[in-house]
Amino acid sequence: MPNRILLVEDDKEINQLLESHLLQENYTVLTAFDGEEAAALLNKENFDLILLDLMLPKLSGMDLLRKIRETSVVPVLIISAKVSDLDKALGLGFGADDYISKPFSMIELTARVQAAIRRSTQYIQPENQAIPHTLQFKDLILDTHTYTALVRGQVVQLTSKEFQIMKLFLTHQSRVFTKEQIYQFIWEDDYYGNENVINVHIRRLREKIEEDPSNPQHIRTIWGIGYKLGG
């Protein structure tokens, strides 16, 4: 069955161009031209990926992203003419899985879409060994079948990327990962110094799982190297 994509873009010409390309790539595509229309579709349909412009009428892309992350971990790929590091950090901080700046090539778009969908349905397996159904460290439990996280007995809503980062740590509990290694494992792409992307995701994870994010017990910083599971 073809993967289902929700395309949210208010520019009719760009919307039609992207829809046509994605259909040619054998995706099922539903389109929305404003944030409220997209929200209505999300209330009644399921999707494997959302392509989201930020500058939308009626309900902004950022506001829509926040609403999505209240109930869903579906991969969200932002497509935007906003190119500043601050805009990218905000988008990733609110839970987007990736950010593509306009203009972009269809080759790049296709590669990012494929990678995002693949990451949402596959998990990293260390040393070619089977991943247990449940992973645990202290009071943090990840269920790799239901894609849910429990912290101190409470369900915590993690994005796809956040879940995969924690899964990486929990399946390699004694290993220290550099930012470059985390990026290459999770984003499956060359690093190119994308330090801010990792910083934002680690900060958001700590805000969600740590009792005191300023004194993290689950994700430790190893100064000058990277991060590891606390211990």
Q: CATH classification of 4-122 is 3.40.50.2300, yes or no? A: yes
- Distance CA(125)–CA(14), nearest Å, equals 38
> Residue-wise over 154-192: b if at least 16 C-beta within 10 A, else e?
eebebbbbbbbbbbbbbbbeeeebebbbbbebbbeeebe
Name the most confidently modeled range: 40-49, 77-86, 192-201.
Answer: 40-49
Is it the case that residue 79 has pLDDT exceeding 50? yes
> For 134-229, CATH number?
1.10.10.10
Domain residue extents for the chain: 4-122, 134-229
**Where is average pLDDT lowest: 18-22, 88-92, 112-116?**
88-92
pTM score, whole prediction: 0.61
4-122 and 134-229, same CATH topology: no
**What count of other Cβ atoms lies within 10 Å of the Cβ of residue 122?**
10
